[in-house]
Amino acid sequence: EAQVTQNPRYLITVTGKKLTVTCSQNMNHEYMSWYRQDPGLGLRQIYYSMNVEVTDKGDVPEGYKVSRKEKRNFPLILESPSPNQTSLYFCASSLSPGLVSYEQYFGPGTRLTVT
Amino acid sequence: KNQVEQSPQSLIILEGKNCTLQCNYTVSPFSNLRWYKQDTGRGPVSLTIMTFSENTKSNGRYTATLDADTKQSSLHITASQLSDSASYICVVSAGGGYQKVTFGIGTKLQVIP
C-alpha cells in the first residue's frame, strides 16, 4: 500500500531534550516536506526536500533541522525543543514538483507536546 | 504576500443537503489549486487539483470550480453524508513547482442527522 508513515504518532517531552520525528514513504517520491498545523493558522511549511541531499527552508524553519540521506526518509529534528513547538506535524511526499498536476500524500501526523 | 482565505470558517448542515465552500486567493503567479479533506487528527487527503486552464473538476459528490480571473474557487458538496464531516482546506501553489504552497485555514463542516 502506498503510504507515508510517521513515528511517533504522539510525543510528550520536556524543553531542551533533543528529539527526532521520522518520516518514510514507499512511493519513490522525489519531493518531501514537513508542515506544522496550529489552530487558526492552518498548515505551514517547515522544510522541504527536492531530492536526496537537497533541502531548503519553508516558511517557519526556526528551531528545526532536516536531513535527506535516502530518498525514502526525511526525518525532522528538534535540537532543543521549546513549548512554542507544541503542534501537530505532518510529513508529505509527491512526485517531482516540476509536474503541475501531481498528488501530494500526507502522513498520519505526529502530535508533539513540549512542556 | 501570498494569501488564501476561506469562508465560512465553520458550517453545520443537515444530512442530505448540499453546501458550497469558498476560497479566495492572492497567490501569484498561479500554478494550481487543490482542495483537501482533513478528518480530525488525520492527514489531509486530496479531493481535486485544478490548473489555470481548468474551471471545473469533480470527484464523486465533490465538485470544485475555479475562476482564475477573479481568483476564486468553490467546493460544492452534493447530498451530504455524515462522513463528510471534516475540515476542507484550499491550497494554492505558486510558480511552476511545488516549493511555494499557501494553505487556507480551512472550513470546518459538520453534517448532522
pLDDT by residue (tens digit) across A67-103? 999 999 999 999 999 999 999 999 999 886 655 567 8
Convert the pLDDT of each residue in B61-106 to its tens digit: 999 999 999 999 999 999 999 999 999 999 998 875 555 788 999 9
Range of A4-8, A96-100, B27-31, B38-42 with top mean pLDDT: A4-8
C-alpha cell at A5: 508513515
- Region A51-71: what's the mean pLDDT? 94
Number of other CB atoms surrounding residue B47 within 10 Å: 20
pLDDT at B32: 87
pLDDT at A104: 85
Distance CA B49, CA A2 (A): 19
Q: Do B43 and A109 touch (CB under 8 A)?
A: yes
Distance CA B12, CA B98 (A): 33
pLDDT at A101: 60
pLDDT at B96: 58
CA nearest to A98 within chain B: B97
CA nearest to B104 within chain A: A42
pLDDT at B53: 86
Q: Which residues of A touch B46 (CB under 8 A)?
A: 103-104
Number of other CB atoms surrounding residue B80 within 10 Å: 20
pLDDT at A62: 97
A103 CB within 8 Å of a chain B CB: yes
Least confident among A39-43, A110-114, B44-48: A39-43
Query: Regarding predicted confidence, which is higher, B19 or A94?
Result: B19
